[in-house]
Structure 1
């Protein structure tokens, strides 16, 4: 193991794949560098970069590598059963990720459908929660997330937290909601200021804020219907 580690350290620091991925991102790495990260170490007579190149040279293309069996991988000098199994696991994980689809949690068809959904989920909360529904271009809910807990006039109520998630999930639109534990959905001045600020930020980013709901115990208020959004 000491020999393997020493040989890995012989790779110049600027060329070490882990460091390069950390600095430049995964898309900047060549295929053999990505494979080197999976393999971690090389055998006694070569470093991990050389081993990853050796593996790729054994196959015509990445499809052939994908279809290779554990036994075929073990036929490559420096690849034992453990490394062969790790390669197969990595390949299968990549296939499953590539086939994954974004989960949907229903479609918003109207102000009433959004308000009813949010009122049902938030009416019994004992502390003020700010929730965002992230929608795609078909108004399908692709993510529902509690952004923060606390009063809207608090320093934590910042648009960057909400729009960071919108960008992350590639949302086209946002619906916001927060509850009033008192049960009265009447908007405060802080509610109105926050809503206007969110609408302005959404316009600058090209992400529409469709509505902001204030949730009470037995009723909700739409700030879009209230004329604020």
Structure 2
């Protein structure tokens, strides 16, 4: 930085600097303020969109609860209209659950696969993958079900994953494998209360 002998020189230097840079400073300030207000507007818009999606999701779930599988079209319409939202993923999970109960396994699997490829929520990923594996196992595609289970590495899922592996092994006629998987599941923090019954049945 230059040193100035007098205040007059400093004032003149400031004037000269302002002549050269004043427009840029003003322009930058305008852009900055515009960006600030633009960001606030964007946040408000996002908030309003989320509230609207939340309300629509609630309405769709109410319809699904009252109509069951017959409300599928309404829920699918909500999903199609909110594909960028996690609410659509949640709706797909709920719709898949109703479809499983109605024995519409292909349709349920399609919903779950879509949710699996769409969600950005790390907490939802193992939930969806586990449900995909359960539907595949129900369809008899044990190899694909086990492959899905292999991808669940999050903490807190050890027991459920091992138990489903045991169920698949038992369906495949592998009682020893089922017993080993159930025993592993029983040691996990998320072990279910039905495991001891399953082990007792195998021991008979």
TM-score normalised over the length of structure 2: 0.31
TM-score normalised over the length of structure 1: 0.28
Ranked by relative contact order (alpha carbons within 8 Å, sequence separation 6 or more), the top structure is 1
